[in-house]
Amino acid sequence: MALNDADFGLQGSSIIKEWTGQVQPALMASFIILFFMEAWLWVRNLTFKRRLPGPFAWPVVGNAMQLGQMPHITFSKLAKKYGNVYQIRLGCSDIVVLNGDAAIRQALIQHGTEFAGRPDFVSFRMISGGRSMTFSNYSKQWKMHRRVAQSTLRAFSSANSKTKKAFEQHVAGEAMDLVQIFLRLSVDGRYFNPSHELTVAAANVICALCFGKRYGHDDPEFRTLLGRVNKFGETVGAGSLVDVMPWLQCFPNPVRSVYRNFKNLNEEFFAYVKDKVVQHRDTYDPRVTRDISDAIIGVIEHGKDSTLTLSKDYVEGTVTDLIGAGQDTVSTALHWMLLLLVKYPSIQSKLQEHIDKAVGRDRLPSMEDKKALAYLDAFIYETMRYTSFVPVTIPHSTTSDVTIEGVHIPKDTVVFINQWSVNRDPEKWRDPHVFDPSRFLDENGDLDKDLTNDVMIFSTGKRRCIGEQIAKVEIFLVSAILLHQCSFESHASQDLSLDCSYGLTLKPLHFTITAKLRGKLLGVVSPA
């Protein structure tokens, strides 16, 4: 994962002072010894180890310096030279990179078990109190954990369930809060950056899903939670760097400093979630499922499945995973959608006409309108495909030897999955560099579901994101309500660049918009 200079804060000045003192001579000696040890291993690998196709790797750093600011694009360029399955080296770790729709689906679907592992990274063990489903390795325990999480989440996205309706009500309420905030920030024609408000809204929805409660945007406890979630995104990259380059811990540098905070951050975040889950245990009623926490407590702690051997701290682990992942994915998707709406005003107008025709002006859109809003769905899928804002999945590892497209990959190999290459694959998509929502509509104007399945943003196979359906409900409903209630514009002088910053997700660079009310401001109708 790439880190920006800004992530390092004011640590640089103190590091320089320490560097110029007694640390520098010892560091240089250690580095020289390390260099020759690594060089010996490098030569040995060239001589004795059959190397997979891939670029030349330097001692100590491997190919780290070649990846640039956008590794997913570099991976795609390397695939043109070395094929869709090749090897790079980061520090002391050999890593296989998979590119292209055919190779990735062959690996994750046809050989799903062989690619279902996670690397044994120290940073992964720190997350969710060591009970993370997302970051833990493939095992019988992991399969049980995933089955529990899937079954409980299904209730919040299955048709006609009370929990589903309650969740959609939370989403609609948050969307209308966003409308009012956007209008307030746009008074007298002012322009604002929507990034923070979208982050707050997405985090609030996932908290409502997990804890049955939406917070006020200025609630101190909620702001503390948001700060921890944001810091997680900043520090997980440093953790990954140290996992593959452990020598970064041997001398003062910004990555080491961030990494040392990683454990404390995870402990604080996990403690926050644990406190909420304990409150749920104390007030648990098997006759009423208030939220995800109740549902998971019911299965793990009060369920009748005698084969289930998960301890109760897996409840906290699952909830922590959902909060950490849910808000970032949804807020980033909405962020890109707003940028594309103001960049392509003709598409925005067409979407609004589409929604007005299907819904009318006297009520807000709901999930019941989804079948009649194919063009909005197409816009959402094209946003996910075009931006591919989750460019590379969390690293996988192989659980056994496996061969993909004629390339043999040994057991316990770290694997990077380049989702960006799937969404921009010219063999799969017509004019992949063009933003065109209509590509997802058939000749009758209906959504082409086969084509939507080709978009890869939530991964696929055994590690496919279990919160995918929940996220899609939230993205659809929020975007429908925002477009129904508001029109969005950017300043005429603003260059709406599609450049982005690289991290756990690709985020648009700074841009500003203004919002204008379309007709009358509507309220959210409470369910019967």
Question: In which residue are the tokens 């978009």 written?
Answer: 455
Q: Does the annotation list 465 as a binding residue?
A: yes
Quote the CA–CA distance of 118 and 134 in Å, as a whole number. 9
Residue 160 — left, alpha, or beta (φ > 0 → left; ψ -120 to 50 → alpha)? left
Nearest to 198 by CA among 341, 317, 7: 341
Query: Residue 100 has which token pair?
Result: 């292209």
Q: For residue 491, what are its two tokens?
A: 């300043």
- Report how far residue 472's alpha carbon sits from residue 481's, in angstroms, rounded to the nearest whole number: 14
**Beta-carbon contacts of residue 432 (< 8 Å; ≥ 6 apart):** 423, 424, 425, 426
Please count the CA atoms within 13 angstroms of the CA of 196 that sit on its side-chain side: 10
16-21 contact pairs (CB < 8 A, 24+): 18/252, 19/252
* Cβ neighbours of residue 491 closer than 8 Å, sequence gap 6 or more: 191, 512, 514
Distance CA 131, CA 514 (A): 43
The number of angstroms, rounded, from the C-alpha of 28 to the middle of its chain's C-alpha atoms is 38
Q: Are 516 and 490 in contact (CB under 8 A)?
A: no
Phi, psi (deg, nearest 5) at residue 87:
-120, 140
CB 292 within 8 A of CB 308: no
Rounded Cα distance between 199 and 14, Å, is 32
Rounded CA-CA distance 143/244 in Å is 27
CB 129 within 8 A of CB 316: yes
349-354: which pairs have CB atoms within 8 A and are 24 or more residues apart?
350/375, 351/375, 351/376, 351/379, 351/483, 352/483, 352/484, 352/487, 352/518
Binding residues for heme: 465
As annotated, the binding site includes: 465
